A and B are shown apart, each in its own frame.
Chain A
């Protein structure tokens, strides 16, 4: 591969990661932001240049600090990814729903994965947070659950 190919590759990769419809954040051991993609910029209203070098916890003061730090420490210690479901923390980051007008939800429901990023020597000094917008899945599941509960109550009433 020529040097230009390698550079183009890097450019593509960067373009994809920046514009992908998923939030990407890289933090170091002090939880300072090292990477902040366009999804994070646009949904939080905090630009990458402002977010970088700031602590993730100071960007979002509403985050449950001790809870989140514990999760991140686990990833650092065990070098294994951990997952946070919307059913556990529906709106970890205070983002609004992508479809504010036709959607039912006001807030964006999120699944978040926290993954270790290993250095060439195998040490883990950084974490990556991957934020998925699962608002449609969450609202559909909640609507289905409530419809089933209503059905169940009706069946019970009928069988009496």
Chain B
């Protein structure tokens, strides 16, 4: 952009706040899902600053309630991710922050997220982040709730580590799982939705179902919620990396089981998997759902290649 300003980058909310306390800034582009201090916490802290910069939130979390909240907390505008240059330019012009040929005097602090750095993990995290926001928005609209979105975790896991990761997410409880396979352009993965069994009463409440929770109702809840959770997520991922994935029919892997009984380390023939983990929580409800994308080892190089194109296009 032909915008004559000084730009500084911060890794997370805390870094941005530190920079703002040290020098003066006009404008802050702020992400919501960040480690250390997220966007909401940053906005909260900024309220006590005397000469705080104007804030434009740039986030993949497109839930109407998220947008409402950041505006109530003092953000000037919200822009969805990924942000195209023309859209941003239009927004800046409409806010009176940028006029062609002119430039503000003071430096601009910009929060830039992973897509600008080049590691596979970070790119994937960002792609998952955008997809997660769109999936959450679909769910939030359907159920009229607010979904708390964490930072997606991306890791290469061995069989035993996958056990640990899943065990941790369901803690002592038993769980129920649905898995759906996806394949396209040399990338193969499973989308595993893991529901902690203590989530069922509130899941029924969320979907407006009354009465006893029978086994068959649980099955219905599992299939419904995993479909709405996985479907929009995959569409968003596919759009970003431009793959029309083939998907298998979802399979009910188990109900009320311990993880250890389910993924048998001895029987497993794979060694490592690239795992993207997203833990969805619904505000004011006891619903924990862990969505895991498990990529096969031989998909990693293809994925790396595709994501690097994605970053180049963004530049």
Task: Write the residues of chain A forming the contact surface with B, with a CB cutoff of 8 angstroms.
Answer: 19, 21, 38-39, 41-43, 45, 96-104, 106, 133, 136
Assess the A102–B183 pair: CB atoms within 8 A: no
Which residues of A have CB within 8 Å of B245?
Answer: 42
Assess the A42–B184 pair: CB atoms within 8 A: yes
The answer for the CA separation of A95 and B278 in the assembled complex, in Å, is: 29
The answer for the CA separation of A48 and B303 in the assembled complex, in Å, is: 21
Interface SS of chain A? loop
B192 within 8 A of A: yes
Which residues of B have CB within 8 Å of A106?
Answer: 269
Kindly identify which residue among B188, B249, B253 contacts A96, using a CB–CB cutoff of 8 Å: B188
Interface SS of chain B? strand
Contact with A along B237-257 (1 / 0, CB 8 A): 000000011111101010000
Query: Which of A39, A45, A96, A98 has most B Cβ within 10 Å?
Result: A98
Which residues of A have CB within 8 Å of B247?
Answer: 21
Closest Cβ neighbor of B246 among chain A residues: A42
Closest Cβ neighbor of A45 among chain B residues: B186
Query: Which of B188, B246, B247, B296 has most A Cβ within 10 Å?
Result: B246
* Contact A101-B273, Cβ < 8 Å, known A42-B246, A136-B251: yes
Closest Cβ neighbor of B162 among chain A residues: A101
Which residues of B have CB within 8 Å of A101?
Answer: 162, 179, 189-190, 192, 263, 268, 270, 273, 294, 296
Interface size on B, residues (CB 8 A): 29
Kindly identify which residue among B190, B248, B268, B270 contacts A21, using a CB–CB cutoff of 8 Å: B248
Contact with A along B176-217 (1 / 0, CB 8 A): 010101011110111010000000000000000000000000
What number of A-B contacts does a CB cutoff of 8 Å give?
A: 63
- Tell me the B90-132 residues at the A interface (CB within 8 Å): none
Assess the A102–B262 pair: CB atoms within 8 A: yes
Kindly identify which residue among A38, A39, A42, A102 contacts B263, using a CB–CB cutoff of 8 Å: A102
The answer for the CA separation of A102 and B249 in the assembled complex, in Å, is: 14
**Known pairs A19-B244, A98-B181. 10 more at Cβ < 8 A?**
A21-B247, A41-B184, A98-B248, A99-B251, A100-B188, A100-B296, A101-B189, A102-B253, A106-B269, A133-B248
Which residues of B have CB within 8 Å of A38?
Answer: 244, 246
Task: Write the residues of chain B forming the contact surface with A, with a CB cutoff of 8 angstroms.
Answer: 162, 177, 179, 181, 183-186, 188-190, 192, 244-249, 251, 253, 262-263, 267-270, 273, 294, 296
The answer for the CA separation of A98 and B179 in the assembled complex, in Å, is: 10
* Contact A21-B188, Cβ < 8 Å, known A101-B294, A102-B262: no
The answer for the CA separation of A104 and B251 in the assembled complex, in Å, is: 13
Nearest chain B CB to A156 CB, angstrom units:
27
Which residues of B have CB within 8 Å of A41?
Answer: 184, 246
Which residues of B have CB within 8 Å of A99?
Answer: 179, 181, 190, 248, 251
Chain A to chain B: the 5 pairs with minimum beta-carbon distance, closest first: A98-B181, A42-B246, A98-B248, A42-B184, A101-B294
Which residues of B have CB within 8 Å of A21?
Answer: 246-249
* Contact A100-B186, Cβ < 8 Å, known A21-B247, A43-B246: no
Closest Cβ neighbor of B294 among chain A residues: A101
The answer for the CA separation of A41 and B193 in the assembled complex, in Å, is: 26
Which residues of A have CB within 8 Å of B181?
Answer: 97-100, 103
A/B interface sample: 5 pairs, CB < 8 A: A21-B246, A41-B184, A45-B186, A100-B270, A102-B294
Which residues of A have CB within 8 Å of B246?
Answer: 19, 21, 38-39, 41-43
Closest Cβ neighbor of A105 among chain B residues: B269
